[in-house]
Amino acid sequence: MTEPGLDLVTGGAGFIGAHLTKALLRIGRRVRVIDDLSTGRADRLSAVNGQIELMRLDLASADLSVAVAGVERIFHLAAIPSVPRSVATRPNHPNTKDSRSRRSRPTGSQRPRLRRMCASSRSSTAWTR
């Protein structure tokens, strides 16, 4: 069941994701962050520790059913933010534009009842719709 006011920010320990997380808290939203901390830093969120739910996991390979449970909106920013680097360093990783990224998408009853999904990034992303 959807929890009113609950947002999920993927890549929330990243440069843009951390700013977005704090902005959402300022307007009264509750925020769950998913980040594998591959390029992100938990200290970007230290000012809001205790106000957010931080889940350290790899979107590309984790079971996302718990992570997406109850969320109303998803802001999808998790990425290796350089396409050349993502391809060069992790050629088979689902973070790349490789269609394997679709493997980790929630399906059927796992899918959240989203009001909104925002995938704003224009680089490599994990788990895209």
Ligand X SMILES: NC(=O)c1ccc[n+]([C@@H]2O[C@H](COP(=O)([O-])OP(=O)(O)OC[C@H]3O[C@@H](n4cnc5c(N)ncnc54)[C@H](O)[C@@H]3O)[C@@H](O)[C@H]2O)c1
Contact positions vs ligand X (CB under 6 A): 11, 13-17, 34-40, 58-60, 77-81, 95, 121-123, 125-126
Closest CB to ligand X among 10 and 28? 10
Shortest distance, CB of residue 120 to ligand X, whole angstroms? 7
In the bound state with ligand X, the residue whose beta carbon lies nearer, of 48 and 79, is 79
Q: Nearer to ligand X by C-beta: 28 or 95?
A: 95
Q: Kind of pairing, strands 73-76 and 52-55?
A: unpaired
Contact 60, 126 (CB under 8 A): yes
**Cβ at position 40, least distance to ligand X in Å:** 2
Q: Nearest distance from residue 108's CB to ligand X, in Å?
A: 22
- Long-range contacts formed by 15-21: CB under 8 A, 24+ apart: 15/44, 16/77, 17/75, 17/77, 17/78, 18/44, 18/45, 20/75, 20/77, 21/45, 21/48, 21/52
- Least distance between ligand X and beta carbon 113 (Å): 22
